[in-house]
Chains A and B, each alone.
Chain A
Amino acid sequence: MKIVVTVKLVPDPNAEKRIDDGTKRLIRTGVETVLNPYDEYALEAALQLKEKIGGDTTVTVFSMAPEALKETLRKALAMGADDAVLLSDAGLEGSDVWASSYAIAHALKKVGFDLLIVGGLSDDGSTGATPGALAEYLQTPLVTNARKAEVDGGKLKIERETDTGYQDVTAPLPCVMTTALTFGEPRYASLKGIMGAKKKTIAALTLGDLGLTQPVGQGGSKTQLLAFAPPPARGKGRVIEAADGPSGAQAIFDFLKERKLV
C-alpha cells in the first residue's frame, strides 16, 4: 500500500507573523522554515498505519515549495518517511487556495497513492479547504478529522471528530484523509533516522510535468489579497488583587455591570 502525506513548509509558528506591505504576503525572510506542525500529525498517522499494515507499505512525503527549501523535507524523512517529492516552480508563486489545490492534485496524480493524508490546518493563513479541493480533483472520497484509523479488508475505517461529537466512518480506497491532533503526538526523529534521511530520495516535479489546462500562480488565482491591517489594539486592562472570594467576586460583578454585561 502506498501512503502519501502532504506537508506544507511554513515560517516557524513561534515567530511573530508579519506581512509585507507590498506583496501582501507573509514575510518569510529571517524566519526559519519548518514543517507545518499540523502536518507532522498527518505524518505520524501515516507512520503508525505503515507499522500496523506492514508488508510493502511505503510512506511518501509530498510538498509544494521553492526548491531552496528542499532540505527542510529531510526532517520528515528522518521521522520515518521513505522518500519525498517536491513540486517547485516560479510559476506557482502567489497561488491561492484554488490554484494551489489544483496544481498539487495534478502532481499527486503523477505520484499515485492508495491513501493520501493531509494535515487538517496550516499554521500560515489557514482555510482548511485544501483537503476537500484535492479530493475533488483526485476524484476520491474525503474523510476528515480522524483521531483513529485502520485499514481493514481494503477499506479505511476511522473515528472522526465532528462539530458536536464523533462518528465512525468507513471509506473505500483510494481516499483522502485529514487527521485531528488527537491522533497522537508526532514522534521525534531518531539519530538513526536522521542519518538515514540523508540517503533518501527527494524527487523533483515542475509545472511542466503536470499538464495543467488552467493557469495557476497569482494570475490564475480566483482570489486576491487586497489589504491588511493590524487588529484593533487590546491594551492591558485592570489588575485587582482579591483579598478573598466575596471581594474578588464583587470586583468582577461591578466591572460586568459597568460594561452592561449583567
Chain B
Amino acid sequence: MTNVLVYVQHKNGVTPKVTFEMATQARKLADTLGGKAYALVVGAGSSKLAETLKTYPLDAVHVNDDADVDKFLLDPVVDYLEAAAKAIGPALLLVANTLTGKDVAGRLVGRLNAGICADATDFKIEGGKVVAVMPKFGGAAITNCELRPGDYGIVTIRPNAFAAQAGGAGASVQAIEKPAGKSYGVVVEKDVEEGTGELALEEAPVVVAGGRGLGGPGPFDTLLKPLASALGGAVGASRAAADAGWVPYSLQIGQTGKTVSPSLYVAVGISGAIQHKVGMRSSGTIVAINKDGQSPIAEFSDLLVVGDAFAIVPELTKLVQAAKS
C-alpha cells in the first residue's frame, strides 16, 4: 500500500470542500508511504473540476465527462474506481464520509476485497502500515484502525477534519477510459437539489442550529438564517425540528442525521439530548441559548445563555454584523 487514490464526489463539477482536504492529505500520505497521489473525477463537469483539482499537490487527475455517471446510480462510478485502483495496485483509497461516499466505499469493500476504516479524522503511518484515527460510538471513544498493507484499503474521511492547501508542481490531467462491457440497471429518473447555493452543513465553519424551542418553521428563516449569514455559517436543526417538518431532513444534526464539527456551534432552543449531542460534540466551541438552564445542553456547552432566543438572536446578529463592517 504505497499509492493513494482520491474519489472526487461532485455534481456538474461542484464538489464539497472535503475533496480538497483529501487531495492535500493524499500527498502527505503518499510521500510517507513512498507512492503517488491520484484523484478520479468522472461524470458531467469533470474536466472543468479537474482544472481546479490539478492545482492541489496530486501527481495525476484521472478524468472522464461520461454522462452515464449521472444517469445511473453508483455502478458506473464503482467501475471507474475499480479500474483506476487496479491500475496502481493495492492502494489506499480516500472517500468522503458522506451518504454517497459511504455507498461508494461499501461497494469498493466488496469489489476490491478491501479493508475499511470509517470517518477518519487523522492518520498515523507506523512501520509502513496505514492507521486511521477515528471517533467511534458517537464520539464516546477514539479508535485506531490499522489496514493490512497487502490489501486494498479504504478510509472514509470526515469533512472539516483535514486542512486543504493548494500547491505543488501541478498535477497532470489524464483521460481515463470508460470500463468496457458494462451495462447499468439502476436509473436515476429525477434528481432534486434542496437548499442550493448554501454552504453544506458538514463543511460549514459555523453552524447555527435550531430545535423544538423555536416553535415552528418561521424562525429558521427569520431568526437563524441572518445570524448564520453574519457568522459565515450554515443553518442546522435537531431531529425534533426535522420530524415536525419545519426543515428538510438534510439539515438534521445528530445520531440519525449529520455529524458536524465546525469551529463554532450555536444551539438555539435545543435541549441537547444524547441523540443530538453525538452529532455535534466534537465542535470547537459550543454556545447554547435556551430558556431552561437545567437542559442537558448545559453539560457540554462552553457557554449557555439562559433567556429568550427570540430577543437575544436578533441583537446578536446586529452585533456580529456591526463587528464585521
Bound-state Cα–Cα, A229 to B298, Å: 24
Residues of chain B with a CB closer than 8 A to A124's CB: 137
> Chain B nearest CB: distance from A220 CB in Å?
10
> Chain B nearest CB: distance from A27 CB in Å?
11
Q: Kindly count the residue-residue contacts between A and B in the assembled complex, taking CB atoms under 8 Å apart.
A: 287
Q: Which of A166, A252, A262 neighbours the largest number of chain B CB atoms within 10 Å of its CB? A: A252
A244 interfacial contact with B, CB 8 Å: yes
Mask, B248-287, CB within 8 Å of A = 1, is: 0110000010000001100000000000000001100111
Residues of chain A with a CB closer than 8 A to B188's CB: 167-169
B106, closest chain A residue (CB): A132
Report if A101-B316 is in contact (Cβ < 8 Å); known contacts: A132-B103, A163-B99, A169-B188. no
The answer on a CB contact under 8 Å between B299 and A236 is yes
Bound-state Cα–Cα, A133 to B108, Å: 7
Chain A residues 118 to 176 lying within 8 A of chain B, measured CB to CB, are: 121, 124-137, 141-145, 161-172
> Chain B nearest CB: distance from A22 CB in Å?
15
The answer on a CB contact under 8 Å between A162 and B106 is no
Report if A252-B287 is in contact (Cβ < 8 Å); known contacts: A141-B186, A237-B304, A239-B306. yes
The answer on a CB contact under 8 Å between A163 and B314 is no
A-B CB contact pairs (8 Å), 27 listed: A17-B140, A97-B118, A128-B103, A129-B156, A141-B185, A143-B186, A162-B99, A163-B100, A163-B200, A169-B73, A171-B187, A172-B186, A182-B249, A226-B145, A228-B143, A231-B140, A231-B142, A234-B286, A239-B303, A239-B304, A242-B305, A242-B306, A245-B308, A245-B315, A252-B303, A252-B305, A256-B287
Bound-state Cα–Cα, A23 to B303, Å: 38
Residues of chain A with a CB closer than 8 A to B298's CB: 236, 239
B43 interfacial contact with A, CB 8 Å: no
B114 interfacial contact with A, CB 8 Å: yes
A255, closest chain B residue (CB): B303
Residues of chain A with a CB closer than 8 A to B61's CB: none
A91 interfacial contact with B, CB 8 Å: no
Stretch of B33-41, B45-53, B162-170, B190-198 at the chain-chain interface: B190-198
**Which residues of A line the B interface, CB within 8 A?**
16-17, 19, 24, 26, 38, 96-98, 101-102, 105, 121, 124-137, 141-145, 161-172, 180-182, 214, 221-231, 234, 236-246, 248-253, 255-257, 259, 261-262
The answer on a CB contact under 8 Å between A250 and B319 is yes
The answer on a CB contact under 8 Å between A237 and B186 is no
The answer on a CB contact under 8 Å between A261 and B264 is yes
The answer on a CB contact under 8 Å between B118 and A226 is no
**Sample of 17 more A-B contacts, CB < 8 Å, known A126-B118, A133-B106, A224-B146:** A98-B114, A102-B110, A129-B118, A132-B109, A141-B73, A143-B73, A145-B99, A164-B11, A170-B189, A224-B145, A229-B141, A237-B301, A242-B305, A242-B307, A249-B314, A251-B303, A253-B320
> Main SS of chain A's interface residues?
mixed
The answer on a CB contact under 8 Å between A168 and B305 is no
B8 interfacial contact with A, CB 8 Å: no
Interface size class of chain B, counting residues whose CB lies under 8 Å from the partner chain: 35 or more
B69 interfacial contact with A, CB 8 Å: no
Bound-state Cα–Cα, A246 to B11, Å: 43
The answer on a CB contact under 8 Å between B111 and A249 is no
> Chain A nearest CB: distance from B80 CB in Å?
15
The answer on a CB contact under 8 Å between A127 and B116 is yes
> Chain B nearest CB: distance from A160 CB in Å?
8
Bound-state Cα–Cα, A126 to B264, Å: 26
Residues of chain B with a CB closer than 8 A to A141's CB: 73-75, 185-186
Bound-state Cα–Cα, A259 to B264, Å: 10
Report if A253-B107 is in contact (Cβ < 8 Å); known contacts: A98-B116, A165-B250, A240-B304. no
B153 interfacial contact with A, CB 8 Å: yes
Which of A98, A142, A164 sits near B115, CB closer than 8 Å?
Answer: A98
Q: Would you list the 3 A-B pairs with minimal beta carbon distance, nearest first?
A: A132-B106, A136-B110, A245-B311
A240, closest chain B residue (CB): B305
> Chain A nearest CB: distance from B112 CB in Å?
9
The answer on a CB contact under 8 Å between B144 and A225 is yes
Bound-state Cα–Cα, A101 to B106, Å: 10
A167, closest chain B residue (CB): B191
Residues of chain A with a CB closer than 8 A to B306's CB: 239-242
Residues of chain B with a CB closer than 8 A to A224's CB: 145-146, 148
Bound-state Cα–Cα, A222 to B185, Å: 31
Report if A240-B74 is in contact (Cβ < 8 Å); known contacts: A125-B136, A143-B186. no
The answer on a CB contact under 8 Å between A231 and B282 is yes
The answer on a CB contact under 8 Å between A227 and B305 is no
B178 interfacial contact with A, CB 8 Å: no
The answer on a CB contact under 8 Å between A262 and B323 is yes
Bound-state Cα–Cα, A164 to B271, Å: 26
The answer on a CB contact under 8 Å between B311 and A222 is no
Residues of chain B with a CB closer than 8 A to A168's CB: 188-190
B145, closest chain A residue (CB): A223
Bound-state Cα–Cα, A239 to B107, Å: 47
B98 interfacial contact with A, CB 8 Å: yes
Bound-state Cα–Cα, A244 to B312, Å: 7
The answer on a CB contact under 8 Å between B293 and A136 is no
Bound-state Cα–Cα, A228 to B134, Å: 9
Bound-state Cα–Cα, A96 to B194, Å: 36
